[in-house]
Amino acid sequence: MNFSIFRDNLQLLRQRYYYATWKADGTRYMMLITWDGCYVIDRNFCFQKVELRFPCKSTNKGIFEKTHHYTLLDGEMVIDIEPKTQKQERRYLIYDLIAINQVFIMERPFSERWIILENEVICGR
């Protein structure tokens, strides 16, 4: 649920658990990770291959045992400036995990999806 925090919306915050993050100034992308590559997908559904690899923490069987295959992330691409070098670095900030290794998990609570994301995607890198 997206909404601004105004006085009339405070009741909604009291009714359920919520998560908040800082507002990044980047471009929203879905990221599809497959055994043969990683792709970012923009809001116009244009795919662009990026040079990233996501090794699997858990062991699967067959050809996909070393890397994720059909894992879908939701996030934002930002450009950060390294404080020491002043060099611009492109970073993908992950907001949610939609599917992991061909298993759709959006029906699970966000807190559970976040734990899976940390354990199976982020820690593997």
By annotation, the residues acting in catalysis are 23
Give residue 4's pLDDT: 61
Sign of the dihedral through C-alpha 70, 71, 77, 78: negative
Q: In what order do the strands lie in the sheet with 71-81?
A: 47-50, 37-41, 27-34, 71-81, 88-100, 103-104
Q: How far apart are CA 77 and CA 25, in angstroms?
A: 9
pTM of the model: 0.77
Do 72 and 66 touch, CB atoms closer than 8 A? no
Mean pLDDT by 10 residues, the chain (125 residues): 62 69 86 93 96 72 69 94 91 94 95 93 81
